[in-house]
Amino acid sequence: MNHSILVIALLTTACTVKTPAASSSAVLIPERTWVIVAQPAQAAALDAVRMFTQRGFGLVDMQTNDRGITLRFKGERKLVAEQIVTALDVLAVAAEVTETLDASAKGRERRHHHYVEPNIETYELGSVYYVRIEPRGPTMTSISAIGRPTRNGIEACTHDPDLDAPCAPLESGPDVHPEIAGLAEAEMINSVFAELRLEGTVVAPDVQMAEASHRCWQRRREVEAAAARVSSSRARAGILRTAPVCESFAAK
């Protein structure tokens, strides 16, 4: 009985740890999620449709309100397969090992072995993008974008309060998680905005300045957190003097 508990304890560590899906907003700093283009809203929307369609993501829906329109693009990316080790799998293997140990302890050979089929999940991963088009006067337009992964065409629920579309929880093991962590969607949004910048229509934001600001404030908060953990006021003041000055940046 004791070795049974030990076997289960050891095998439980083999269970696949799953991590929830995330959207592009978990990867991109805010200034990477929007641009202002020197175009009327209709021309900006048509450019967005062209660029996402060329990348394999077709326009599937359009919602309008008094401030602008939201374009929804959707497409598939790749077929994945991952082996998932569940608690039931662990118990089955534990029972197999325990029976073998019991037989060995009694001096006899165990003749029948049960083969435990691996639990392999195969599914199609894709992405869905919500692209918001809002006019900023007659000649300027704001374009913002959020992308999140899909599994077999169903959107993954992510921490994005602005998205109220139907979704389903999506988790994966470490081998597949990079595919649903928002990285692919962030790369797509970066690609579209980079093409807009190459065409010369983007007038804001200054991404290099925004990223420098982000790094500066991130470093400052790290220094402040380190200082907060020190009890000596003199040592704390010394640590705080190493914090960068970020007030010169326009954005925090």
- Looking at 112-236, which runs of residues are DSSP E strands? 120-135, 141-151, 154-155, 171-172, 202-204
User: How many angstroms separate the CA atoms of 101 and 49, rounded?
Assistant: 64
- Any bridge partners for residue 80, and if so which? 123
Question: Bridge partners of 129?
Answer: 73, 147
Q: Where are the domains of the chain?
A: 17-82+121-205, 206-252
- Give the global pTM: 0.72
Could you confirm whether domain 17-82+121-205 is CATH 3.30.310?
Answer: yes
CA-angle at 36, arms to 34 and 41, nearest 5°: 105
Show the DSSP H helices in 55-176 as ranges: 87-105
Could you read off the pLDDT tens digit of each residue along the chain, which spans 252 residues? 455 554 444 455 557 688 999 999 999 998 899 999 999 999 999 999 999 999 999 999 999 999 999 999 999 999 998 886 665 555 555 556 666 656 566 666 655 555 556 678 899 999 999 999 999 999 999 999 999 999 999 999 999 988 989 999 999 988 899 999 999 999 999 999 999 999 999 998 766 665 666 677 778 888 889 989 988 988 888 888 888 877 655 443
